Chain A
Amino acid sequence: MRSVGVVVILAVAIALSISMLIARDAVSTKINTVRASTGTTITVSPKGFFGFQGGGTALTTTQINGLLSLPNVTAVQESLSEQLKSTQTSLISPTPAGQLGQQFGSSAGSSGGSSTSGSSSFTFTIPIRVIGTNSPGTAVVGGANGGGTEKLTSGKAFSPTSTSDVAVIGNTLATKNKLKVGSTFTAWNTKITVVGVFSAGSTFTDSNVLMPLATVQKLASASKQVTSATVVVNNINNVASVDRAVTKRLGSAADVTSTQATVQSELAPLNSVKTISTYTLIGSVIGAAIILLLSMLMIVRERRREVGVLKALGATNRSILTQFIAESTTFTVLGAVVGFVAGIAISSPITSALVSASSGSTPSSVGGFVRGSGGGPSFTGGGSGFTPPSGSFSRSGGGLRFGGINNTLTQIHTSAGWSTLAFAFIAALIIAALGSSVAAATIVRIRPAEVLRSE
């Protein structure tokens, strides 16, 4: 009966350690997956800048280029966002302002769109958005322009260092203005040649104009100004340190947004679960060893006379130790088998409970909104800072939006592989070895003469 009790207690301890190991592995996998999916970029924008709605003072190319000297920075992509009012361009905006555009336009009339006001109505026209970038390759395929899904449908991108009066335009804008590669339009009283047309699948994004950074700086009288930059880090593990270095370098001039840092705060509950499960894992293995150790010690003490008799009859220490180690190993193996099965069975609900409890206690994870002013100018629709709806996990200019990340993070799949089985085996060995050690030392010290004299 006592043996059954020892096996049951060991099984509970081993089940707990197995479930904690599985929980830890599952959470680690989730953390790594989320971290890997966030990329290795850091977004820099002028302090207080948020699309065309925010304020702040533009950064300079000198400031941004200086970031290239920071350790682990492999590239810095710069961009300058400008708006073309109807009076500044021959282009006609393809995007109707709509109810929301009118609403935002009237409340922020100076934010860029053209407007006419009569005695009883206000008409707002969405401005054309121009993005000057020094990384047109990445811009076109998802860098400075922010969409992430843009693809050239015709023509080509301009050179990163180009100072020509050229542009790559969205296909919605191209269609509205009957433009194609080789066509021209005017902006800031300058003739601009269309060298490419892209499609991003979004009416808003496809209404944008991409131009060389130097060209936009010159034409918009924004010499050396930058409204956004994307710092590319060489390794996902260095993002946090580079984030700190960029923040320190630019000081109060810029808002530095690292998706890693943001995600890190979102992952805090999972990291807590990982820590808890690690400590519980270690504790339960040690606990199991102590349980076995005390049990074996009790058994040896109770059978002290028997050990003395065996020695009197000529048994060697080795033969007696072998017998007791076999007993403790049997207890451990039985406990490990039962505990392994039970641990796998309870690992999923325990992991869910841990994650739920931990997520629920972390306010930052509620709501799932992350600032979206990413690598390029932020998506601002309707003319004045309207953030378009995003999916549960969508990129935004190098930034990440986690609409409902909570749901994503708490959906953790648990599984037990060979490594778990190997752990159970090794843990059982450690438990058996620790559990037997003191008992073995006690057995060796038993002197048959003393035991038999006590009769």
Chain B
Amino acid sequence: MLKVENLNKTFHTGAGDVHAVQNVTFSAADGEVVAIIGASGSGKSTLLSLLGLLDAPDRGSIDINGVQLANLDSAGRTKYRSTQVGFVFQQFNLIPNLTAKENVMLALEFARWPKEDRGQRAEEMLAMVGLDAGKADRRPAKLSGGEQQRVAIARAFAAEPQLILADEPTGSLDKSTGQKIVALLREAATKQKATVLVVTHDEKIAQQADRRLEIEDGVLKEIA
């Protein structure tokens, strides 16, 4: 269960203060897929950074299954991020000199999974996202965009995190592949009982989510 209350983040720039996130309050249940829609510069990526513990909020709280995360120090945020948060990026962001399997194993390494279990877990995750077994040992450059995103999803879910943050996960994919990827996210969320937040500007992708939220000038509101 994710609970966010009165989350605020302001950037101080030469042109003045930018209130990227203002009094954001919402919650999401385990296994729920929530879409966050917003135009460029609306604050959705900042919100994702705060929820992913990549950045510290100025005010507010983030609670995952009863654990307060907003006030963790840098080391604490790093530790929690490696075990409880998974990321899926628009550009996939796989490590180019590692194979698909090694990319998944890397997340397990950071989460300090037992070394002897990592290989099998990575293979299971790649199978779950539908990547051909023969492609597990290929490097990202030898995979298609859809395949790379599947690997990224496998990596995000590998350490059994409670929160998955997907930032424009279909932005670099064609429509058909994009829909398959969202379906995959939903399936994985259900299977692992993880909360999935998908940031997108594509209304059709958003409609595949359980709930839709819209962010504008840092203010989040529910779309009926």
Contact = CB atoms under 8 A, between A and B. Distances in A.
Contact of A448 (B46, B54, B82): B54
B96 A306 contact: yes
B54 A313 contact: no
Contacts of A371: none
7 contacts: A309-B87, A315-B110, A316-B78, A449-B55, A452-B45, A452-B49, A455-B90
A311 interface: yes
Contacts, number: 59
Contacts of A313: 81-82, 87, 106-107, 110, 155
Contacts of A449: 49, 54-55
Interface of B: 45-46, 49, 52, 54-55, 75, 78-79, 81-83, 87, 89-91, 93, 95-96, 106-107, 110-111, 155, 167-168
A314 B82 contact: yes
Nearest to B20: A453
A450 to B, nearest CB: 9
Contacts of A315: 78, 82, 110
A312 B45 contact: no
Given A310-B95, A313-B106, A314-B83, A452 B167 contact: yes
B54 A452 contact: yes
Contact of A452 (B83, B89, B96, B107): B89
B81 A314 contact: yes
A369 B168 CA distance: 87
B95 A309 contact: yes
Given A305-B93, A306-B95, 19 more contacts: A306-B93, A309-B95, A310-B106, A312-B87, A313-B106, A313-B107, A314-B78, A314-B110, A315-B78, A319-B110, A449-B49, A449-B55, A452-B45, A452-B89, A452-B167, A453-B45, A455-B45, A455-B89, A455-B168
Interface in A266-320: 305-306, 309-316, 319
Contacts of B167: 452, 455
Interface size class of A (residues with CB under 8 A): 10 to 19
B199 to A, nearest CB: 11
A447 B78 CA distance: 12
Nearest to B94: A309
A309 B78 CA distance: 12
Nearest to B79: A314
B81 A312 contact: yes
A455 B91 contact: yes
A449 B53 CA distance: 9
A5 B49 CA distance: 38
Contacts of A319: 110
Interface string A85-113: 00000000000000000000000000000
Centre residue among B54, B79, B107 by max chain A CB count within 10 A? B54
4 closest A-B pairs by beta carbon, nearest first, are A314-B82, A314-B110, A449-B54, A449-B49
Nearest to B84: A314
A444 to B, nearest CB: 11
Contacts of A314: 78-79, 81-83, 107, 110-111
B136 to A, nearest CB: 19
A311 B95 contact: no
A448 to B, nearest CB: 5
Nearest to B74: A317
B39 to A, nearest CB: 15
Contacts of B82: 313-315
A309 B54 contact: no
A306 B82 CA distance: 16
Contacts of B89: 309, 452, 455
Contacts of A453: 45-46, 49
Contacts of B93: 305-306, 309, 452
A312 B52 contact: yes
Interface string A176-192: 00000000000000000
A72 B78 CA distance: 70
A449 B96 CA distance: 20
Contacts of A309: 87, 89, 93, 95
Contacts of A311: 54, 78
A280 B83 CA distance: 52
Interface centre among A310, A314, A319, by most chain B C-beta atoms within 10 angstroms, is A314
A316 B73 CA distance: 13
